[in-house]
Amino acid sequence: MANLILDWSLFGSYGSSLNGGETVDTGGVSVTLDFEAQDEGATATTDDTSQYTAWGDPYDTNSSLALYGAGGEGGVDATSTTTLSFSSTDSAYADEVSNVSFRINDIDRGTYEDNHTDIVTVLAYDADGNAVDVSFTTSGGQSIDGNTLTGEVMDFGSLDSSDPLGSVQVDIAGPVAKIEIQYANGEETDQQISLTDVHFETMEASDAPDGYVEGTNAGDLIDATYTGDPDGDMIDAGDAVLPGEGPDDDIVLAGDGNDTVKAGAGDDEVYAGGGSDYVEGGAGDDVIHGDGDPAGGGGDTTETSRESFNWSGLDDPDCPDFSIGDGDDLDGKTLVQDTGTVTVTATLQAADTSRVDSDYDTAYINVDGIDGGDETVNDRSSLRSYDNDGNGDATYSFDFSEAVTNAQFTVSDIDGNLGQVSVRAFDADGNQISVNLTAGADLILSDEDSVAGDETATGSDNGPPTDGDNAVLVDIAGPVSRIEIDHVNVGDGASQVNISDIFFDADGGELGGGTAGDDTLIGGDGSDVVYGGDGNDVIDTGAPASSDPLPDLGYPGLFPADPDPDNDRDSVEGGAGNDTITTGDDADTISGGAGDDHIDGGIDADQISGDAGHDTIIGGEGSDTIEGGTGDDLIYGGLDPIYPDSLNISDDVDLVPDNGRDLIDGGDGNDTIYGQDDDDTITGGAGDDVIDAGIDDDTVDGGTGDDTVTGGHGDDTITGGDGADVLSGGDDRDTFLGATAGDHIDGGSGGHDYDTLDLTGSAPAGGSLSVVYDPNPENGTVNFFDGDGILTGSATFEEIENVIPCFTPGTAIATPQGERLVEDLKVGDRVITRDNGLQEIRWIGTKPLSGVEMARLPHLKPVLIKSGALGNGLPERDMMVSPNHRLLINSDRSALFFEEREVLAAAKHLVGSDGIHEVDVLSTSYIHFMFDHHEVVLSNGAWTESFQPGDLSLKGVGDAQRDEILELFPDLANDAGIRDYRAARRSLKKHEAKLLVK
């Protein structure tokens, strides 16, 4: 290889202008200089002024390229972009070069009279356009943020290109095909920097590695001795050249044939290709594909897409069947959104929800600078974080199912009441990475953590949410897997900020090519990613037995806790075929794919999906999440059945009672499920399932089909679901929720025996039920009747000590004819109101919720208000209402706190008062009725509200019912009409209502 120099004298006599660009040959490699003046008066000129060089530097002290800028407009303003492109003029040399080095001198900032700030960004690219690492060595006079240098040393008139304080050494290992130098000014007056001669090494055309170890279409042995790659790449030869790869991070393209691949050390990627292959990833965090090559062949990258987490695309958190609406309360919610390629999980948590409100906001905000790609950047979609009385704070986190890049969003309205916002970002391993904040003029940036660069913005003046002076643009290059945003009120007044939609680049990650094969894929040490592809594969990502894997939680007297619970967290996709998958230590993620798979998750809390086929799944030690998928699956939540039952230890003597709390869903098919040790949650799903929950306090739902369920030892909660089920509680205090025709329920008699059969919601729709006891009162029959009183079926029970037939069957509404059940009311009926006498019902709607929906949406559980819970003996009887239904509160406390004796409070905000609590039911229906105006009516003797569309929103009642309301009340089709349909009383917010909870 030859050492060549881009000597600026090659462009002619010093003082030559290169504004128009030019190409010179350095002796086998030509260099093309392109110059783009982005500010008026910017120039590029060769210069022989004295340059600083350190002892031992090879650079000519009187040869440079001077880059000049005539001055900016205030703020960061682009001056020029200079590009150096390399191209071979000698067949012996490649078009890329390596070991590039040069100095940039005179990077500084001016004084008040000469207020310039030099900002220089150096980027490098290989021949495929991939970014190449650039390293800087400074004298301390500059700050570094990624690839950007900013002058910090002050020039009081004597600092020039010969001063070491203004000098930065630039080194680029390469391979390099292009270097781009972006010059900008952070202030207003003129500026100049100088580039020394550029030194570099040629690369031999025949020997230039491309970063891929390629096999043939025959059966290859690809290990550290393999020399068959056409470009000379080898396993563990320290020759990795692609950006982001360590010396021994190999990328192997084995090709067709029955190959054996041993990737050895480093974080390797192996594409086994067609054939029945054997792959060992070896040490390091490896990615193994049993079939196929990277999309596009060797060296091609997968296509990225611009996607976004957008607040306006969320479901209503309280009514998921409908879209989110302005002002919807998001406090404490966990929100999940599929953006197309990745899934984003947002967790919204205020330290004190009585002081900080988090809600969806459609007010205009500032979104300047966000690159939405093909997506529209919505300036009326944001999360509003509002602290009402100072010293409150909230943290909002966003987790991405796959790492993303180039994330962008704004935080607006960071105002002078000392609102403060901090942004942190983390990679897939939990390491904090840098963020870049571009702040408005009224914000103060600071670095409050251990990662270089400012991450905190504090307000110093007030302005609306649209004001760019009070907004910050956040850029995160990534790859990023988690973003955290803190809103802290460091003052003593109210503070509000608005967080925009979050945009990012997601990798499509498609695989192409390759044919099916029965592969053997060995992950070895490290956190491996393995794709089996088609065929009957054997996949083992567990660490060797010699590494002594330990459970994360440990077990006193037997095993210490794993000191590093994240160093073997594997991700496996078996693909099509009958695969055998073993993952061993740490919390692994496993997808069996289609076929009859055998999956053993090993120790720790794994996530396992069997997918299609008749799978056998063993969760092993740890609190696993298991989904059987379709097919007749055999599932063990705990240890492999080869181990004795004595290892399943009841909680009363178990030293670690939470290392086997499994969440199991059998899915479709006739499944057999064993929960085994600890408190499991098991759902059988569709089909005739056999479920043995094992020991401890389990929760079991048989789902649809004729199931056989055994609770076993412990205080179990069992729901049979649809179908004729056989339910056995086993030992201890079991609770059976509901019954259907054909069920047989046996509470069992062992242990601390006191079993309960709760028949709430079990009566047929419009019908009823009765309980007939045998001479032994613990045995009996439940008879089910339709609306005409005709017997439709029966269930039997035995060894049940306590039967709960039902809650209050309906709410009674006061009418001129006396109290009538709400379900019997119809349009045109007159009802007694508190404010306006007798009023006719204009509209009635019903929202039924099935048992499945109630289990999936527990926040929609009804609220039970016991007789007398509202004071003065009201309500007169127990009643159940929807969580958002508002009740009239008339008390001294409401007068004291709100200067109004009568206020309305949502039932869910009163939970915690004596006699008011959420209840578990198998199904329910929420009935709404509406008058010409919002009214307060008598319900079971207590005053409660009628339906108010302005509060619950019209979208919550479904399209057909909404159209019916709009036909009756056309003014409600616009915001003004909804506002005019005012509440009958002041409606309390959550933190206000909590003041009334006793």
Distance, CA of 825 to CA of 930 (rounded, Å): 12
Structural domain contains residue 959: no
Residue 966 domain flag: no
Report the pLDDT value the prediction gives residue 954, as an integer from 0 to 100.
56
Is pLDDT at 166 greater than 70 in this prediction? yes
611 pLDDT more than 90: yes
CATH number at residue 385: 2.60.120.380
pLDDT tens-digit series, residues 354-405: 667 888 999 999 999 999 887 889 999 999 888 776 666 788 999 999 999 9
Query: What digits encode the pLDDT tens for the residues 531-558?
Result: 888 888 889 888 765 567 899 998 998 8
- Clarify whether residues 467 and 522 are in a common domain: no
Ranked by mean pLDDT, the top range of 33-42, 467-476, 700-709, 959-968 is 700-709
Q: Is residue 960 part of a domain?
A: no
The secondary structure of 490-555, three-state, reads CCCCCEEEEEECEEEEEECCCEECCCCCCCEEECCCCCCEEECCCCCCEEECCCCHHHCCCCCCCE
Query: How many Å apart are CA 234 and CA 225, to the nearest integer?
Result: 8
Do the Cβ atoms of 758 and 737 come closer than 8 Å?
yes
Count of domains forming the chain: 6
CA atoms within 13 A on the CB side of 817: 6
| Residue 39 near residue 88, CB atoms below 8 Å | no
For residues 581 and 486, state if they share a domain. no
| Separation of alpha carbons 610 and 588, rounded Å | 14
Q: Are residue 576 and residue 679 in the same domain, yes or no?
A: yes
Tokens for 221?
């042995």
The answer on 687 and 572 residing in a single domain is yes
Token pair, residue 635, equals: 């599932």
β-strand partners of 840: 830
Please say which residue of 774, 806, 838 terminates a domain: 806
Exposed (0-12), middle (13-18) or buried (19+): which is 652, by Cβ within 10 Å?
exposed
Q: 237 and 385 share a domain?
A: no
Q: What is the pTM of this model?
A: 0.46
Query: Looking at residue 557, what DSSP letter applies?
Result: T
Is the residue at 244 inside a domain? yes
Q: Is 295 exposed, middle or buried (0-12, 13-18, 19+ CB in 10 A)?
A: middle
Dihedral sign of CA atoms 222, 225, 228, 230 in order: positive
Name the phi and psi angles at 355, rounded to 5: -115, -20
pLDDT at 424 (0 to 100):
92
| Cα gap 469→285, rounded to integer Å | 44
Alpha-carbon distance of 419 to 405, in angstroms, equals 28
To 5 degrees, how large is the angle CA 822–CA 827–CA 832? 60
Which of 942, 877, 859 has its CA nearest to residue 905?
942
Among 227, 291, 283, smallest CA distance to 254 is for: 291
Residue 639 falls within a domain, yes or no?
Answer: yes
Report the amino acid identity of residue 254. Answer: A
Whether 956 maps to a domain, the answer reads no
* Span 650-677, average pLDDT: 93
Output the domain CATH number for residue 987. Answer: 2.170.16.10
| CB proximity list for 982: less than 8 A, separation 6 or greater | 934, 950
Task: Please indicate, yes or no, whether residues 373 and 240 belong to a single structural domain of this protein.
Answer: no
Peptide bond into 883 cis (omega under 30): no
Higher pLDDT, 407 or 915: 407
Same-domain status, 765 and 702:
no
Residue 683 has pLDDT above 60, yes or no: yes
Q: Is residue 122 over pLDDT 60?
A: yes
pLDDT at 905: 93
Q: Which domain holds residue 324?
A: 305-507
Residues 747 and 702 in one domain: no
The answer as to whether 958 is a domain residue is: no
Three-state SS string over 302-327 comes to: CCEEEEEECHHHCECCCCCCCECCCC
The whole-number pLDDT of residue 953 equals 47
HEC profile for 599-612?
A: EECCCCCCEEECCC
Residues 255 and 270 in one domain: yes
List C-alpha distances in Å: 453 to 124, 860, 967: 22, 44, 58
Q: Say what the pLDDT of residue 972 is.
A: 78
Q: Based on the number of CB atoms within 10 Å of its own CB, is 145 exposed (0-12), middle (13-18) or buried (19 or more)? A: middle
Same domain, yes or no: 410 and 459: yes
| Beta-ladder partners of 717 | 699, 735
Beta bridge partners of 709: 691, 727
In the structure, what pLDDT confidence band is assigned to residue 25 with cuts at 50, 70 and 90?
very high
Strand stretches in 267-392, DSSP E: 269-271, 278-280, 287-289, 293-294, 304-309, 334-338, 343-350, 356-361, 382-387
252 located within any domain: yes
Do residues 170 and 260 share a domain? no
By DSSP bridging, strand 393-412 and strand 480-489 are: antiparallel
| CB proximity list for 777: less than 8 A, separation 6 or greater | none
Q: Does residue 416 have a pLDDT over 60?
A: yes
Torsion, Cα of 288, 290, 292, 293 (10° steps): 20
CA 59 → CA 6, 62, 151, 198, 499, distances in Å?
Answer: 10, 9, 22, 8, 49
Q: What is the pLDDT of residue 123?
A: 97
Residues 289 and 310 in one domain: no
Q: What is the pLDDT of residues 207-254, one digit of tens each?
A: 556 778 888 887 889 998 898 887 778 888 877 767 667 788 888 888
User: What CATH number corresponds to the domain at position 188?
Assistant: 2.60.120
Q: Which of 191-195, 972-976, 983-987 has the lowest mean pLDDT?
A: 972-976
Spatial separation of the C-alpha atoms in residues 281 and 283, rounded to whole Å: 7
Domain final residue pick, 709, 739, 767 = 709
User: How buried is 718 (Cβ within 10 angstroms: 0-12 exposed, 13-18 middle, 19+ buried)?
Assistant: buried
264-309 pLDDT, tens digit per residue, is 888 888 887 777 778 887 777 778 876 655 543 333 334 467 899 9
Which range (98-102, 219-223, 643-647, 723-727) has the least confidence?
643-647
Which of residues 507, 533, 561 is at a domain's end?
507
The residue written with tokens 């759902």 in the block is 683
